[in-house]
Structure 1
Amino acid sequence: MTSETAENILLSVRGLSLEVVRSGHRVVKDVSFDIAAGEIFGIVGESGSGKTLATRALISLLPQAIGVAGGAATYKGRDVLAMKGRELRALRGAEIGVVFQEPMTSLNPSMTIGRQLEEGLVLHTKLSPDERRVRIIDMLKRVGIRDPEGALTSYPHEFSGGMRQRIMLASVMLLKPALLIADEPTTALDAVIQRDVMELMVELTRAEGTAVLLISHDLPMVARYTNRIVVMEKGAVVEQGRTEDLLEAPQHPYTKKLLSSLPFRSETRRVDTARVPMVSARNIVVDYAGRKSLLKRGSPKRALHGVSVDIHEGEVVGLVGGSGSGKTTLGRTIAGLVKESGGDIRFQGRSRDEDWRDYRLNCQMVFQDPYSSLDPRMTIQALVEEALRLVLDLDGDARRKRALETLEEVGLGGDYANRYPHELSGGQRQRVAIARAIARRPRFLIADEPVSALDVTVRAQVLELFSNLQKRYGFSCLFISHDLGVVEQVADRVVVMQDGRIIEEGDRDTIFDNPKEAYTRRLLSAIPALDQNEKGGVTLKWRLEN
């Protein structure tokens, strides 16, 4: 903190410690940092590092089981940890606003957007109903809602994830707080929408002079927008400083570990494209039935418009695009989970339908959320064995042996076999999902956003595991992701989708270094090009920017 900013400190945290009330176990230990007025300040770390708990303590939103064990936090010279009742309610929203990670759980599904945006203005201002309406409509326009007046009578479920986050941001900025706490505000969004939301947040906060406390495990995003950052591990601050300095020359081993876990471009592999493709989809059309009303059904919606793609033997094809581009629909159609309205899917040169059983044994899928795709009543070993039930040449003992061998391959040997999904972390559950998929030794794998919900270090571990397994067994893979940094690391070839159509495809290096389509350039401009240096740090260069 410089002498200039020291005179302008908005929030000062000193020695903040939190503990589990019953056991006395410290979950946040001696955390200290300062935020100046108008500054964008970042806190980074993996899940469980304590970054969210530390910031929730500032506005008394801790779980009942967690209590403050020591330290102080002053906002504009006032002790926020001692605030209660009316003083605390006046602080929340009006002085300190919060944008949470998942807007769908923050917005009330039974209330219209207009009523929810008006709540804060009713509580914290003396504006008339007409004045409140004018301010709300103006703010909705500023955050990019196309029909702000119509949005007032709409409900949260009628908007996409990106639009809901814009509405959440609007509700907070309506009160013009001096400090905005943004807790993983873009985690569930694709790269383009993520950048749009962040640019909007920065624009709004700068216009109002609002300071931002940005909490995230997305290091490149934090690096792009913050002035200074704090790195937390296991409840403690391990390093802090100017963002640029810390990324270029990290001092603590944990910071170096985080930076080394970012996705970097892998070596190019040669794939024989002259042979018959392992899987070939030709002119695939998918129509979803229209919404059904009381008297009739609406017109069908076309999700895929004659899409064609080939995946060759041993090849990893990255399928990228924004939310709603049709990439997951294409993956599920190729897997047979969605029925195509037109087109043809061939496996090793033959129609997929000629030997459907053989195709389904050789085509496996890894889903985005392993927790919802794993039966919570079954042990990990049973879940992997279940995938082998239809392999006729394996008896019960052989299935058990294969299941245990596969769990060892994905790093879940020992007593993990007898555990249940809820006893595993997110990364471990994704390893189970991968084990289920490869247990049959399939020829073709579809991975749908397999690492999007994971921390940076866990993501790196899962991607390394995936690459090692792909080299060992040589399966072809359609890798679906909105994270182009991940695709750059794993893919041999890249296919770009927009609005249900393929707009560009080519080898990985050509697409990333010389994209032709404006949409592809926009996708790539939202992620950095990373270069590791000899100090254990990274240099971030934003693509396609002069």
Structure 2
Amino acid sequence: MTDMLLEVKDLELGLVHDESNLIVRQASFDLRPGEVLGLVGESGSGKTMLGRSIIGLQPGAITPRGGDIVFRGRSILKMSARNLRRLRGSEIGMVFQEPMTSLNPSMTIGRQLEEPLRQHTRLDTARRRARILDIMERVGIPEPGDRLDDYPHEFSGGMRQRIMLASAMLLKPALLIADEPTTALDALVQRDVLELMIELTRQEGTALILISHDLPMIARYCERLLVMRDGEIVESGRADDLLAAPQHDYTRRLLQAMPERGPVRSFDDSTTPVVELRGLEVEYRSRTGFLARTSRKKALHGIDLRIRRGEVVALVGASGSGKTTLGRAVAGLIPASGGDILFRGLPIGKHDANWMDYRLNCQMIFQDPFGSLDPRFTIRRLLAEALYYQRNLDSAERDDRIRAAVREVGLEDAHLDRLPHELSGGQRQRIAIARAVIGRPDFVIADEAVSALDVTVRAQILELLSELQRQHGFSCLFITHDLSVVEQLADRVVVMRDGAIIEEGPRDTVFDRPQSGYTRALLAAIPKLERTATGAVLNWRFGANDPLREGAQ
């Protein structure tokens, strides 16, 4: 007998039809009951495959090539499919990155939460309902009894992730695996979900494997870290010790890729702003009820904002604050219901003479490049399409501009004849940036352009954006929930809440001396990793301590 809950011994995962290609190589680690283990690394490092293999959920094209996974003294790799199904949920739970792909959109939340109780317990209907309501209340779903008949799309992103956590913890598993559980969530919701997860696992004595590329988050919640690269565990140890003095070059490079505060730039307030918003409002209308009555909801309440030439303005706020709606309204993708948008001092509208000039000079970079790039078009055609209205360029000049744009974003001419799916996530985002700036616009809107990227790729994209912005001089509205990115990139910060601007000012002023309690809460929600001579140390803004760790002492 052993006191180890989980033992991974020299595990190797490879492709079914290619024995020479290993996804995971000689991975070994163990986990005790109640322990919190962090698994970090870049995209493609093998961390998700390693986590999924523990519960037997790796893709069918990937198979174990060697080693073993022992859970409570039983080999998972030797289990039958029937025993694996019994193990999943009841003894090992999993929380996935995107709850909308894990929750069934055609089933109510109540039915989806009841399903594991039907499969793994003998509770009657009344006791199943009582267990479901209890876990929903514990994860912070308001009025749980009234929400059982709601569908996943009727919940916010943070609430859906809470429902996924409730589903995973419903059967009180001995081990919970969380794969990038908060990547798309804002600072406050991310903190709430993670602290809820830690609290539940501590109450039940559940061990936790937290998979992420977010180093500050991993440093805060995990007792031990594993660092993966190219399918190998290159370094492991206690979280504080490993970060304070990493031994492997790769770990040091990950820490070096963390965003740092950039230099302060000054701008002339007397010049005409590139883009100015005056009392901008957006109102959504929907028909509801038996008589199809029209209901109205304001998403933006009288927004006033000036963006100067060459300035980077960061727009931050919680999910639902209206920041994406503001960006899309400024880009002309959704109609404004009131107020004015001025470009170079002149009002613009779809019937104004300067509308086409504004649309050519206002470009947008979306969060998901795979969704914004036509999968049927080659990179060459995607970039050529962005030059369609550049009438002053002949065919040869267009080709030169396309090749120059690809090289500007760090790619090669060979990438021009590839399709989007043939590029990595970072390469696709580079193409999305190239497509936005190839026409030399005066104004670029970047909506969560780096939120889904890992540490080193994010650092490369941020440096690329900064270099292109310095080179071409365009103004930028940078919409994000990642405050560390804001600290590196922005000249000015605008904080939104409930469709209104509640604070605005120079980056250093807002970050160091916030006037709004909400802004202060946003900044204090996420810890910082500050670089030292040998590594990094976990710190908190405004001298705050970590209440989670204090409570555990």
Query: Which residue of structure 2 aligns with residue 207 of structure 1?
Result: 203
Q: Quote the Cα distance in structure 2 between the aligned partners of 1:505 and 1:75.
A: 52
Query: Which residue of structure 2 aligns with residue 9 of structure 1?
Result: 4
Query: Which residue of structure 2 aligns with residue 342 of structure 1?
Result: 338
1:171 shift after superposition: 1.1
Q: Quote the Cα distance in structure 2 between the aligned partners of 1:87 and 1:384.
A: 52
User: Which of 537, 540, 549 lines up with 1:539 in the alignment?
Assistant: 537
Query: Which residue of structure 2 aligns with residue 3 of structure 1?
Result: none
Query: Which residue of structure 2 aligns with residue 517 of structure 1?
Result: 516
Q: Quote the Cα distance in structure 2 between the aligned partners of 1:107 and 1:361.
A: 40
* Alpha carbons of structure 1 residues 249 and 503: separation in structure 2 relative to 1, 3 Å: same
1:287·1:301 contact (CA, 8 Å) conserved in 2?
A: yes
Query: Which residue of structure 2 aligns with residue 474 of structure 1?
Result: 473
Q: Quote the Cα distance in structure 2 between the aligned partners of 1:336 and 1:121.
A: 48
Q: Deviations over 1:428-457 (max 9, x none)?
A: 111111111111111111111111111111
- Please tell me the residue identity of whatever aligns with 1:75: F
Q: Deviations over 1:369-400 (max 9, x none)?
A: 11111112221122112111111211121111
Query: Which residue of structure 2 aligns with residue 18 of structure 1?
Result: 13
1:150 shift after superposition: 1.4
Q: TM-score, normalised by structure 1?
A: 0.97
Q: Quote the Cα distance in structure 2 between the aligned partners of 1:78 and 1:259.
A: 37
Q: Quote the Cα distance in structure 2 between the aligned partners of 1:86 and 1:376.
A: 39
Mapped pair 1:463 → 2:462: yes
- Please tell me the residue identity of whatever aligns with 1:19: G
Map 1:86-165; keep pairs closer than 5 Å: 86-165=82-161
Q: Quote the Cα distance in structure 1 between the aligned partners of 2:444 and 2:103.
A: 37
Q: Quote the Cα distance in structure 2 between the aligned partners of 1:100 and 1:233.
A: 21
Q: Quote the Cα distance in structure 2 between the aligned partners of 1:533 and 1:350.
A: 49
Q: Quote the Cα distance in structure 2 between the aligned partners of 1:124 and 1:469.
A: 56
Q: Quote the Cα distance in structure 1 between the aligned partners of 2:427 and 2:364.
A: 17
- Please tell me the residue identity of whatever aligns with 1:541: N
Q: Deviations over 1:226-257 (max 9, x none)?
A: 00010000111000000011111111111111
The percentage of aligned residue pairs carrying the same residue is 61
- Please tell me the residue identity of whatever aligns with 1:122: R
Query: Which residue of structure 1 aligns with residue 550 of structure 2?
Result: none
Query: Which residue of structure 1 aligns with residue 41 of structure 2?
Result: 45
- Please tell me the residue identity of whatever aligns with 1:507: P
More displaced, 226-235 or 429-438? 429-438
Residue 318 of structure 1 aligns to a residue whose secondary structure is strand
Q: Which runs of 4+ in 1 moved over 6 A?
A: none
1:85 shift after superposition: 3.7
Query: Which residue of structure 2 aligns with residue 507 of structure 1?
Result: 506
- Please tell me the residue identity of whatever aligns with 1:12: E
* Alpha carbons of structure 1 residues 26 and 278: separation in structure 2 relative to 1, 3 Å: same
1:42·1:215 contact (CA, 8 Å) conserved in 2?
A: yes
Q: Deviations over 1:449-496 (max 9, x none)?
A: 111111111111000000001111111111111111111110000000
Q: Quote the Cα distance in structure 1 between the aligned partners of 2:395 and 2:54.
A: 56
1:7 shift after superposition: 6.2
Mapped pair 1:494 → 2:493: yes
2:39·2:225 contact (CA, 8 Å) conserved in 1?
A: yes
* Alpha carbons of structure 1 residues 311 and 435: separation in structure 2 relative to 1, 3 Å: same
1:294 shift after superposition: 5.6
Q: Quote the Cα distance in structure 2 between the aligned partners of 1:364 and 1:62.
A: 39
1:18·1:28 contact (CA, 8 Å) conserved in 2?
A: yes
1:295 shift after superposition: 3.3
1:449·1:482 contact (CA, 8 Å) conserved in 2?
A: yes
1:264·1:530 contact (CA, 8 Å) conserved in 2?
A: no
1:528 shift after superposition: 2.6
1:59·1:81 contact (CA, 8 Å) conserved in 2?
A: no
Mapped pair 1:248 → 2:247: no
User: Which of 212, 218, 235 lines up with 2:214 in the alignment?
Assistant: 218
2:307·2:313 contact (CA, 8 Å) conserved in 1?
A: yes
- Please tell me the residue identity of whatever aligns with 1:388: L
5+ long unaligned stretches in structure 2 = 546-553
Q: TM-score, normalised by structure 2?
A: 0.95
Query: Which residue of structure 2 aligns with residue 75 of structure 1?
Result: 71
User: Which of 277, 280, 284 lines up with 1:284 in the alignment?
Assistant: 280
Q: Quote the Cα distance in structure 1 between the aligned partners of 2:290 and 2:415.
A: 51
Q: Quote the Cα distance in structure 1 between the aligned partners of 2:356 and 2:55.
A: 57
Q: Deviations over 1:323-378 (max 9, x none)?
A: 11111111111111111111011111111245112211211111111111111222
Query: Which residue of structure 2 aligns with residue 180 of structure 1?
Result: 176
5+ long unaligned stretches in structure 1 = 1-5
Map 1:286-325; keep pairs closer than 5 Å: 286-292=282-288, 295-325=291-321
Q: Quote the Cα distance in structure 1 between the aligned partners of 2:394 and 2:30.
A: 63
1:293 shift after superposition: 5.1
